[in-house]
Structure 1
Amino acid sequence: MARGGDGLQVLSALDAAKTQWYHFTAIIVAGMGFFTDAYDLFCISLVTKLLGRIYYTDTSKDSPGSLPPNVAAAVNGVAFCGTLAGQLFFGWLGDKLGRKSVYGMTLMVMVICSVASGLSFGHTPTGVMATLCFFRFWLGFGIGGDYPLSATIMSEYANKRTRGAFIAAVFAMQGFGILAGGIVTLVISAAFRAAYPSPAYRDDHFTSTVPQADFVWRVILMLGAAPALLTYYWRMKMPETARYTALVAKNAKQAAADMSKVLQTEIVDEQEKLDAAEGANSFGLFSREFARRHGLHLVGTATTWFLLDIAFYSQNLFQKDIFTSINWIPKANTMSALEEVYRISRAQTLIALCGTVPGYWFTVALIDVVGRFAIQLLGFFMMTVFMLGLAIPYHHWTTPGNHIGFVVMYAFTFFFANFGPNSTTFIVPAEIFPARLRSTCHGISAASGKAGAIIGAFGFLYAAQNQDRSKTDAGYPAGIGVRNSLFVLAASNMLGFVLTFLVPESRGKSLEEMSGEAEDSEEEPVGARAVRPSETQMV
C-alpha cells in the first residue's frame, strides 16, 4: 500500500544522510538569524537606563533620571508584541507559500527596522520613545518570522539521528547574540567614556550625562542590522526543503532534483507514488482529527513555552535591576551615564559567558543522547530550585559581601534554562506536527511563548518597580518586589515541569513517524472510505 510521504526515497535519503557540509551551512545561515534576533531583542535592556538619564533627567534634582515604569515596560516589551504577531503570521505564511519564499522577507524587515530604531526621532522625550517603540514593534515582527521558519527548515533538512543537535545548534546562536550584545555595548561605552569624559557636578551630586551619550544607544541598536544583512544572500540561495516541496507542494520531481544537488547523490523521481497517496492525512488545523491526534501536543508545546518565557525574559531583561538591588552594580547617582552602561553590559556579558552560552551547547551535545523530554524536565526542575534558592534568603543576598553567591546561583538559572526548556520548547514543535501545518503550529507555540515574555516585560517590571518604591517608602527593605517576582517565576517553572508530560519524545524518529503522516495511507488505501469534512478542512 502507498505510505504517503514516508515512502519517498528523497525523504528516506534525508533521514539517513550522514552529516555533511550542507548541514553546517544550514546551521550557520539559519543560526545567524537567531544571532540577530537575540542581539536585537536583548540589547535594549542594556541601554534603557541610559535612555532614562538622557531623556528624563531633571537637572534641578540631585539624582539621575529613569524611564517611567510605563515607558520602560513599553520600550522593553513592544518588540515582543511584534514578535508574537510575526510568529503567527509568518508561521502560517511559511506553510502556504513555502519556507524559502518567506525566509528573505523576515530578514529584510529586521535589517530595515534595526537601522530605523537607531534613528528614532522626536521633539520631546515622549516623541523619541514613541518612535523607538514603533520601529521596535516591526523589528519584532520580522524576528517573529525567524522562529517557525528557521526551526522548520532545519528540522526538514536534518537526518533523524542528529536532528535535535542541528536544531539546537541553530537556536544556540541566540546565546552568541546575547553575548555579542554585551560585548558590543562594552566596547562602544568604553570608547565613548574615553573620548568624552563626563564633567562632574559638585562632589555630592551624580556626574552628568555628556551630549554624545545619545549616540551610544543608537549605534548599539543599528549594529543589529549587520549580521542579518550579511546572511541575506545565502538564505536566498538555499533550496526549498524537500518535505515542503513533496508533501505540501506535491512536486516530487522538484524535491528529488533539489536534494540530489544538496546530497550529491542520485535520487529517483517518485511522482507517481506521491500522487497515489493524495488525500491521505489531509486534516486541517481546526479539524476534530487534528484535535484528536495533536491537540494535546499543541497544548503542551504552547503552555510550556509560555511558562518558560515568563521566567527567561524576565531574567534577561531585568537582570540589571536585580544586580542593582543586590549592590553588584553601584547606584546610578554614584557614576556617569556611560559608566553605568559599561557596568551593566559587563555584568550581563559575564552571566551570558558563564551561564547562558554553555547551557545552549550542553543541549546540542546531549539532546540526541538523553532526549528532549528528560532535558526539559531537568531544566524546569533546576530553574525552580535555583529561583527558590535566590528568593527565600533574598535579604541575605542583598547584604554587602554576599552578591557573588547570588550571581553564581543566578547564572545557574540561565544555564538550566538553556540546557532545558528554552532549547527544547523551540525544537519539539518543529518535529511533531504534519509538514503542511508544521510552521503554523511552531508559530502558535512560539507566539504563546512571547505572550509569556510580554507578561514578563510589562507585568514584572511594573510590579517590581512599584512594589520596591512603595515598600521602601513604607520602611521595608529595598528589592521586596524583585523577591516576590522570583517566587512567582519559581511557581511558573514548576507548572512548566508538570505540563511537559503532554509533550512526546521525538528522539531518533522520522518527522513523518512523529506527525503520523506515515500511518494513514498504510492503514487504509486511498478511496477506501469517504473522507469526513472535518478531515479536509484546511487552515
Structure 2
Amino acid sequence: MATGHHLTTQEPQGEVMNYGLNAPHGPDMTGTHPIAVDANPDMTQNEREVFNYLLRPDDSYTENGVYWADLPIMQRIKFVNKVNNIESRRELGAFWTMFKNDPLAPIGFYMRNMVLPGAGLGLEGYVLFSIGNVKPLFQAVFPNCWSKYKVCNKQWIYAVDYLEIIGIIVGQIMVGIIGDWIGRRWGLIQDATIMFTGLIMLTASWGVTQNGWVICYAWSLFFYGIGVGGEYPMTATSGMENAVGSGKVSTRDDRLHRGRKVTSAFLMQGWGQFFNQVILILLLLIFHHGSGNPPYSALAAQWTYRVSFAIPAVGTAWLIYWRTFKVKAAANKQLRIAKAKNAVTGYDTQSLSLCFRYFGGRVLATAGTWYMNDVFFYGNKLFQSEFITVIMPSNKSIMPGWLYNLINVGVSLCGYYLASFLIDNKLYGRKHMMTLGFLMCFIFFVVPAFKYKYYTSPGHIKEFQAMYFLSSFFNQFGPNSVTFIAAAEVYPVAVRATAHGFSAACGKLGALTAAVVYNYLTTPQKFYFVPWFGLADTTGLDLKEQERRWAYIRAGREHEYHGVAVHPKHLSLYERFRGVGKDYNPDLDYKQRVEEMRGEWEMRMSERAAEKELDHEDFDDDHPSEVHSFFARSTKSPNLRGNENEKIPPMNGQNGTNGI
C-alpha cells in the first residue's frame, strides 16, 4: 500500500467487501509491500491500524491481534465481559435516544425486527397447539366419537395427530428445497398461502357423519401442516440472512447479536400458543353464556373452535399481502449472490453433495438433537391432559386445564426470552444452553418417574407442578431455541434451507414418536420414556466466516482455509476428532484476507473501468488513462496459489475475488 494512499478509518467496521472503494487510489497493487502487513517495516502505522480495524475487530480480537477463543480462560472471561459491557452501554444509549425522540419508537422497532419476521411462526404456533387445546372440548362434547369411539373410527381420531405431523414433515423438506431452488421470498409467500387455505378448510370442515367430519378435519390439518413445515426453514434462513448477511462479510451486529435476532423471531411461536389459549377461553365463555363449567353444548363447541381458526385466517391473509408486496429483493439477496458466484441458475446440487460430504456430522447433529428435543417438547404438550388429571383427579371441566396450560405457556415464554438474551454470550451461548437445557429436562422428568406416587400424593403435588413447569422453561431456554438457530447457521447459503428443513423434519419424527408411543403408555410409563431423549448433545457452532470457508471447500481447497471457522471452539466434537481444526492458523489467515481484499478491490475497479470504457467517458483507445494503466500493471500481483506471474483467478471460474 503506497504511503498516503490509505483507507479512511470511518468505514463501517467489518464491511470488508467495500475495502478500498472510498480511498483516493485504493491499495497499492504493484507488489511494493509484502502481504504480511504486521511484518512489513515499510508499512505506516496508519495503514497497519486500518488493516487491523477491518480484519481484527475489537469485539473479537485483543489489542495485540489475538482472537478471543485463543486467550487463556481468565483473560477470555475478562475480554468477553468487557466487550459485553461496552455493547450493553451502547445499546442502552441507543434505546434512550430513540425513546427521547419518540416514546413509541422502541415498540415500532421491536415490531419490525422481531414480530414481523416471526409472524408466520406465531400463527403456526397458534394453530399447531390449538389442536391439542380443543381436543378436551371435543372429548367433553362428543364423547361417543372422541373418547368412547362408538360412532367414530379410533384410528381416524389418532390420525388427527399423525396427519398433522406428517404434513409438517412434507412441508419442511419440500419447501426447504424450494427455498434454495426458487428463493426465500417465494417460499415465504407459498407457506402463507397454504396456511391460509388450510385454515379455511379447518374453519369450514364438515361431514355427513361425525366420523366424516373427523376425516375432513384430519386432512385439513395435513394440508395446513405443509405450510407450517415450510415456515421453519423459510423463517430461519430469511430471518438470519436479512439480519446478518450470508456470513461472508462479518459485521459487528452479526458477531454479537445474530442469535438474539433469530431467537426473537422464533419465540413468536410461544406468543402464538399464548394467544390461542386466551382466545379459546374467551370464546368458550362467550358462547357458553359466561360459564366455563360442563355440560357444554355442541353449538358452543362448534362456534368456539371454528371462530378460533377463523381469527388466524385473517392474520394469515394479511401475511400473504405483507410478504408479496413488502418483502422483496432482500429476502433473496444472499442466495442470489451465492448462486452468481458459482454460476448456478437452479438448485445447487453440487453444494448439496459437498454439504453431506464435508458437513455430514453437522447434519447428523442438528437432525439428531432436534429429534431428541421434539420428543421432549411434544411429550410435554401431549402430556397436558394427564398432568391435569394427576393434580385434579376429580375435575370434569376443561377450563382448569386451559388455565394451567396458560401458566405453562407463560413459563415457556420466560425461557424463550432468556434464551434470546444469553444465546450470543461467548461464555455461555449455544453449546452450554443446549447442554443445560437437556440436562434439566432430563432431571425434571426422571425424578417424578422414579418417585411417581410420592410426588403425585396430595402433600407433594406442588413439587410435581413445579417440575412440570420448569421442564417447559428449560426446554425453551435450551434445546428448542438452539436447534432452530443452529440448523440454519452451520450450513452454507446455497443449501441452508434444505439442511434446516431436513433437520426440522427429523425433529417432527420425534414429535411423531411421542404421539404414537403415548397412545400405548400409562402416565407413569410416559415419565420413564421421555427423559432418556435428553442425553444427546452437540457443540454449538458459529456462523462466522462460514461462506468464506465454503468457497474454499467448493473450489477443492479445503485445507488452504486457515480462518476462525475451523477454530476448535467453533467445531463439533466429531469435527475435532476428524482433525478439521488442524488447518487453523491466524497468521496465514490474516495474510490471505489481505490478499482477498486486494482481489476484491481489483475486481470492483476493473468493473468500473470497463463501464467507463463502454461509455467512452474516461477511456480512449489511443490514450489510455492513468487508472487504465494502473490496472494493467496491477495484474501481476501474488494470489492465493502463490503464482506471482499470473492474474488472481476466481476460485469458481467466475469473475470475482477467488470466490470469497
If the length of structure 1 is used for normalisation, what is the TM-score? Answer: 0.76
Q: Which residue of structure 1 lines up, in the alignment, with residue 259 of structure 2?
A: 164
Paired residues for 1:73-84 under 5 Å: 73-84=158-169
Is 1:363 equivalent to 2:419 in the alignment? yes
Aligned pair partner of 2:532 in 491, 516, 521? 491
Is 1:234 equivalent to 2:322 in the alignment? yes
Point out the more displaced range, 111-120 or 220-229.
220-229
Is 1:284 equivalent to 2:350 in the alignment? yes
| Counterpart-to-counterpart distance in 2, 1:226 and 1:414 | 30
2:307 maps to a residue whose letter is V
User: CA offsets, 1:391-427, max 9 Å, x none?
Assistant: 1211123223433221111111111110001001000
Q: CA deviation at 1:447?
A: 0.6
| Counterpart-to-counterpart distance in 2, 1:427 and 1:154 | 10
Q: Which residue of structure 2 lines up, in the alignment, with residue 303 of structure 1?
A: 368
| Counterpart-to-counterpart distance in 1, 2:433 and 2:511 | 21
Is 1:516 equivalent to 2:607 in the alignment? no
Paired residues for 1:398-417 under 5 Å: 398-417=456-475
Q: Which residue of structure 2 lines up, in the alignment, with residue 373 of structure 1?
A: 431
Point out the more displaced range, 65-74 or 142-151.
65-74
Is the Cα–Cα contact under 8 Å of residues 49 and 66 in structure 1 kept in the other structure? no
Q: Which residue of structure 1 lines up, in the alignment, with residue 563 of structure 2?
A: none
Is 1:216 equivalent to 2:282 in the alignment? no
User: CA offsets, 1:269-328, max 9 Å, x none?
Assistant: xxxxx5xx769xx772553x333321100110001001100110121133122221x133
1:380 maps to a residue whose letter is F
SS of the residue corresponding to residue 90 of structure 1 reads helix
Aligned pair partner of 1:505 in 531, 538, 541? 541
Paired residues for 1:177-216 under 5 Å: 177-194=272-289, 207=295, 209-216=297-304
SS of the residue corresponding to residue 374 of structure 1 reads helix
Is the Cα–Cα contact under 8 Å of residues 151 and 210 in structure 2 kept in the other structure? no
Q: CA deviation at 1:76?
A: 2.6
Q: Which residue of structure 2 lines up, in the alignment, with residue 421 of structure 1?
A: 479
| Counterpart-to-counterpart distance in 1, 2:479 and 2:305 | 31
| Counterpart-to-counterpart distance in 2, 1:42 and 1:210 | 22
SS of the residue corresponding to residue 491 of structure 2 reads coil
| Counterpart-to-counterpart distance in 2, 1:350 and 1:96 | 42
Q: Which residue of structure 2 lines up, in the alignment, with residue 266 of structure 1?
A: none
Q: Which residue of structure 1 lines up, in the alignment, with residue 224 of structure 2?
A: 139
If the length of structure 2 is used for normalisation, what is the TM-score? Answer: 0.63
User: CA offsets, 1:112-138, max 9 Å, x none?
Assistant: 211211221112121011000010001
2:454 maps to a residue whose letter is H
- Return closer, same or farther for 1:320/1:385 CA change in 2, 3 Å cut-off: same
Relative CO higher for 1 or 2, CA cutoff 8 Å, sep ≥ 6?
1
Is the Cα–Cα contact under 8 Å of residues 99 and 153 in structure 1 kept in the other structure? yes
Q: Which residue of structure 2 lines up, in the alignment, with residue 397 of structure 1?
A: 455
Q: Which residue of structure 2 lines up, in the alignment, with residue 468 of structure 1?
A: none
Q: Which residue of structure 1 lines up, in the alignment, with residue 573 of structure 2?
A: none
Is 1:323 equivalent to 2:383 in the alignment? no
Is 1:129 equivalent to 2:206 in the alignment? no
User: CA offsets, 1:12-55, max 9 Å, x none?
Assistant: 9xx99x99988862432221111111111101111112222333
Is the Cα–Cα contact under 8 Å of residues 80 and 137 in structure 1 kept in the other structure? yes
- Return closer, same or farther for 1:483/1:517 CA change in 2, 3 Å cut-off: farther
- Return closer, same or farther for 1:432/1:341 CA change in 2, 3 Å cut-off: same
SS of the residue corresponding to residue 368 of structure 1 reads coil
Is the Cα–Cα contact under 8 Å of residues 57 and 64 in structure 1 kept in the other structure? yes
Is the Cα–Cα contact under 8 Å of residues 120 and 132 in structure 1 kept in the other structure? yes
Q: Which residue of structure 2 lines up, in the alignment, with residue 149 of structure 1?
A: 234
Point out the more displaced range, 392-401 or 36-45.
392-401
1:400 maps to a residue whose letter is P
- Return closer, same or farther for 1:9/1:24 CA change in 2, 3 Å cut-off: farther
Is the Cα–Cα contact under 8 Å of residues 106 and 145 in structure 1 kept in the other structure? yes
Task: In structure 1, list runs of 5 or more residues that go unmatched.
Answer: 1-5, 199-205, 251-273, 333-339, 465-480, 531-539
Is the Cα–Cα contact under 8 Å of residues 247 and 435 in structure 1 kept in the other structure? yes
Is the Cα–Cα contact under 8 Å of residues 351 and 554 in structure 2 kept in the other structure? no
Q: CA deviation at 1:91?
A: 0.4
Q: CA deviation at 1:89?
A: 0.4
Number of matched pairs: 452
Q: CA deviation at 1:207?
A: 4.1
Q: Which residue of structure 1 lines up, in the alignment, with residue 33 of structure 2?
A: none
Q: Which residue of structure 1 lines up, in the alignment, with residue 130 of structure 2?
A: 43
Q: Which residue of structure 1 lines up, in the alignment, with residue 506 of structure 2?
A: 448
- Return closer, same or farther for 1:134/1:210 CA change in 2, 3 Å cut-off: closer
Q: CA deviation at 1:151?
A: 0.3
Aligned pair partner of 2:495 in 437, 458, 467? 437
User: CA offsets, 1:207-250, max 9 Å, x none?
Assistant: 464543222222223323233223333222123332112112x2
SS of the residue corresponding to residue 30 of structure 1 reads coil
1:296 maps to a residue whose letter is G
User: CA offsets, 1:86-114, max 9 Å, x none?
Assistant: 00000000001110122111101111211
Is the Cα–Cα contact under 8 Å of residues 54 and 214 in structure 1 kept in the other structure? no
Is the Cα–Cα contact under 8 Å of residues 452 and 524 in structure 2 kept in the other structure? yes
| Counterpart-to-counterpart distance in 2, 1:111 and 1:222 | 10
| Counterpart-to-counterpart distance in 2, 1:299 and 1:437 | 15
| Counterpart-to-counterpart distance in 1, 2:110 and 2:287 | 41
Q: Which residue of structure 2 lines up, in the alignment, with residue 103 of structure 1?
A: 188
Is the Cα–Cα contact under 8 Å of residues 240 and 258 in structure 2 kept in the other structure? yes
1:49 maps to a residue whose letter is P
Is the Cα–Cα contact under 8 Å of residues 172 and 361 in structure 1 kept in the other structure? yes
User: CA offsets, 1:464-522, max 9 Å, x none?
Assistant: 3xxxxxxxxxxxxxxxx12211222110111x23xx14xx4216x24425x62366667
| Counterpart-to-counterpart distance in 2, 1:211 and 1:146 | 33
Is the Cα–Cα contact under 8 Å of residues 383 and 416 in structure 1 kept in the other structure? yes
Q: CA deviation at 1:356?
A: 0.6
Point out the more displaced range, 30-39 or 115-124.
115-124
| Counterpart-to-counterpart distance in 1, 2:382 and 2:243 | 33
Is the Cα–Cα contact under 8 Å of residues 305 and 448 in structure 1 kept in the other structure? yes
Is the Cα–Cα contact under 8 Å of residues 92 and 439 in structure 1 kept in the other structure? yes
Q: Which residue of structure 2 lines up, in the alignment, with residue 247 of structure 1?
A: 338
- Return closer, same or farther for 1:246/1:64 CA change in 2, 3 Å cut-off: closer
| Counterpart-to-counterpart distance in 2, 1:84 and 1:398 | 36
| Counterpart-to-counterpart distance in 1, 2:532 and 2:299 | 44
Q: CA deviation at 1:329?
A: 6.2
| Counterpart-to-counterpart distance in 2, 1:113 and 1:283 | 32
Q: Which residue of structure 2 lines up, in the alignment, with residue 94 of structure 1?
A: 179
1:512 maps to a residue whose letter is E
Is the Cα–Cα contact under 8 Å of residues 196 and 212 in structure 1 kept in the other structure? no
SS of the residue corresponding to residue 412 of structure 2 reads helix
1:395 maps to a residue whose letter is K
